[in-house]
C-alpha cells in the first residue's frame, strides 16, 4: 500500500476548488437544460415552463448525486488510508518498533489547524523520543555491565592468586587492599545508581527550606580537608552571604561531588577557587580548578552518565569513580529549577563548573563576631571574619 503524505490543502487551493465546484454545478445545470431542449425538439414535444424547470431540477439532482457519490467514495478511501497509516504506526510503536515515521509535509499553520496532521506529527515526535530513550537504555545497560565487570574481574583475579599461595606478606596485603578497594567501588556504584534512579523517578522530591548557602559551601570544603591537604592544594573562596531556599541535603551532594572532582583532577600544588554571588535573586556558584581540563570534544558530554566510559576516560581512570557524580549533580540542580554548566579552555587549562539556582536572597543581618577557634580553623586572613555582611573571602592552604 502506498503511504500518502499528509498535508493540509492551502486556503487558496480550497477557494479554487470551491469555485470549480460551483462552476461545475452551473455547467451541469446548463448541460441538462440544453440536452432536455434538444430532446424535446427532436420528439416535437412542448412542455410548460413549470414542468420544464421541474425536469431540469430532478435530472440535475440525480446527476449531482451520482457525482457526489463517486467523489465521496474516493475521499472516504483516502481518509481510510490515512487512518490505516496512523493505526499501523501506533501498532508498531506498541510492539517496540520506534523507527516508524509517518510522512508529513508540515508547516506551522497547517499543524495548528489540521487535527489529523497534528496527530501524525505527534506520533513522529513520540517515536523519535522513544527511539532516543531506547538508545540511552541500551547504552546505560552496556555501561553498567562494564562498570560492574571491571572490578569483579580484578577481585576474581586477586582472589585466585591468594588461593594459590606462595605470596609474600607485602604482596598478599597489596592484593587484599585492592580487593577491598574494588569492593568499595562496587558499593559506590550501587549507591549512585539507586540515587540516580530515585531522582529520575522523582520518588524523593526536594524538601526546600531556607538556609545559609555560603555556610554550606564552607562546610563542604572543610569536610574535604584531608583530601586537599594531602595534595597540597591552595583553596580560595569568595562567598557572598546568601540565603537559599532549597533541599539542603540534595545540594550538599552537588557541592560534594564538584569539590571532590576538582580535588581529584587538580595536580599537587594546584589551586581551587569557589565563588558565590547573588544575581537577580539567583545564587551563582562557580568552582574553578587548575586541573587537567576538558577537551572541547568532550565538554558537551561531561554530565552524561558514565562519561568516563568514553574518550574522557583519561580524566577518571585514576579516580576510581563511577562516572555518575556529575549526572547526579545535574539532576539535582534541574529538580530545583536551576542550571549547571561546565567550561574549559582545553586539556591542561583547568575547568570551571557554574551552578545557578533560583530562590536566593541576601543575608542582611549583621554577623556575630567570630570566635578565635573559628578564625583559626578557617584560616581567615588577619585571623578574623571580614566586617562586611555581603561577602566573606578566606583562603585555605594545603
Predicted local confidence at residue 69, as pLDDT:
72
**CA dihedral defined by 58, 63, 66, 71, rounded to 10 degrees?**
-130
User: Which residue, chain included where needed, has cell 487535527?
Assistant: 115
pLDDT-based confidence at residue 392 (cuts at 50, 70, 90): very low
What is the per-residue pLDDT across 285-324, written as a single tens digit (0 to 9) for each? 999 999 888 888 888 888 887 765 334 444 334 445 567 7
What is the per-residue pLDDT across 220-243, written as a single tens digit (0 to 9) for each? 999 888 888 889 999 999 999 999
Interacting residues of 17 by C-beta distance below 8 A, sequence separation 6+: 9
| Percent of the chain whose pLDDT exceeds 90 | 18
Predicted local confidence at residue 23, as pLDDT:
75
Q: Report the alpha-carbon distance of residue 361 to residue 390 in Å, rounded.
A: 11
pLDDT-based confidence at residue 100 (cuts at 50, 70, 90): confident
Whether the pLDDT of residue 52 is over 60: the answer is: yes
Interacting residues of 49 by C-beta distance below 8 A, sequence separation 6+: none
What is the per-residue pLDDT across 58-84, written as a single tens digit (0 to 9) for each? 777 777 777 777 666 666 555 667 778
**For the whole prediction, is pTM greater than 0.85?**
no
Predicted local confidence at residue 366, as pLDDT:
45
| 266-295: burial string, b at 16+ Cβ within 10 Å, e else | beeebebbbbbbbeeebbbbbbbbbbbbbe
Between 355 and 39, where is the model more confident? 355
Angstrom CA distances, 28 to 17, 47, 58, 74, 206, stand at 16, 21, 12, 21, 73
Amino acid at each position: 500500500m502506498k503511504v500518502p503524505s499528509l498535508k493540509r490543502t492551502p486556503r487558496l487551493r480550497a477557494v479554487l476548488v470551491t469555485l470549480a465546484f460551483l462552476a461545475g454545478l452551473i455547467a451541469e445545470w446548463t448541460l441538462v437544460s440544453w440536452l432536455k431542449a434538444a430532446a424535446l425538439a427532436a420528439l416535437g414535444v412542448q412542455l410548460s415552463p413549470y414542468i420544464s424547470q421541474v425536469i431540469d431540477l430532478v435530472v440535475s439532482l440525480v446527476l449531482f448525486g451520482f457525482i457526489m457519490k463517486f467523489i465521496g467514495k474516493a475521499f472516504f478511501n483516502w481518509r481510510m488510508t490515512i487512518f490505516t497509516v496512523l493505526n499501523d504506526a501506533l501498532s508498531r510503536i506498541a510492539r517496540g518498533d520506534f523507527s516508524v515515521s509517518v510522512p508529513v509535509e508540515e508547516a506551522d499553520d497547517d499543524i495548528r489547524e489540521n487535527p489529523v496532521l497534528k496527530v501524525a506529527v505527534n506520533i513522529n515526535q513520540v517515536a523519535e523520543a522513544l527511539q532516543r530513550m531506547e538508545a540511552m537504555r541500551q547504552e546505560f545497560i552496556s555501561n553498567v555491565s562494564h562498570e560492574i565487570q571491571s572490578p569483579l574481574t580484578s577481585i576474581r583475579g586477586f582472589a585466585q592468586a591468594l588461593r594459590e599461595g606462595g605470596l609474600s606478606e607485602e604482596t598478599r596485603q597489596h592484593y587484599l587492599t585492592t580487593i577491598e578497594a574494588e569492593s568499595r567501588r562496587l558499593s559506590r556504584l550501587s549507591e549512585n545508581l539507586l540515587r540516580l534512579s530515585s531522582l529520575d523517578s522523582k520518588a524523593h522530591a526536594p524538601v526546600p527550606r531556607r538556609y545559609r548557602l555560603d555556610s554550606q559551601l564552607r562546610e563542604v570544603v572543610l569536610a574535604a580537608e584531608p583530601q586537599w591537604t594531602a595534595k597540597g592544594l591552595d583553596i580560595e573562596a569568595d562567598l557572598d552571604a546568601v540565603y537559599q531556599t532549597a533541599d539542603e541535603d540534595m545540594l550538599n551532594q552537588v557541592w560534594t561531588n564538584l569539590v571532590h572532582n576538582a580535588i581529584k583532577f587538580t595536580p599537587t600544588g594546584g589551586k581551587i577557587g569557589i565563588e558565590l554571588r547573588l544575581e537577580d535573586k539567583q545564587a551563582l556558584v562557580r568552582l574553578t580548578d587548575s586541573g587537567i581540563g576538558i577537551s572541547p570534544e568532550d565538554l558537551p558530554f561531561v554530565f552524561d552518565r558514565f562519561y568516563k566510559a568514553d574518550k574522557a576516560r583519561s580524566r577518571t581512570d585514576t579516580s576510581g569513580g563511577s562516572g555518575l557524580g556529575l549526572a547526579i549533580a545535574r539532576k539535582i540542580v534541574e529538580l530545583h529549577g536551576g542550571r549547571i554548566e561546565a567550561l574549559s579552555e582545553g586539556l591542561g587549562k583547568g575547568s570551571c563548573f557554574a551552578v545557578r539556582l533560583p530562590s536566593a536572597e541576601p543575608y542582611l543581618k549583621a554577623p556575630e563576631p567570630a570566635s578565635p577557634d573559628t578564625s583559626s580553623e578557617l584560616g581567615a586572613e588577619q585571623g578574623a571574619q571580614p566586617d562586611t555582611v555581603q561577602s566573606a573571602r578566606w583562603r585555605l592552604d594545603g
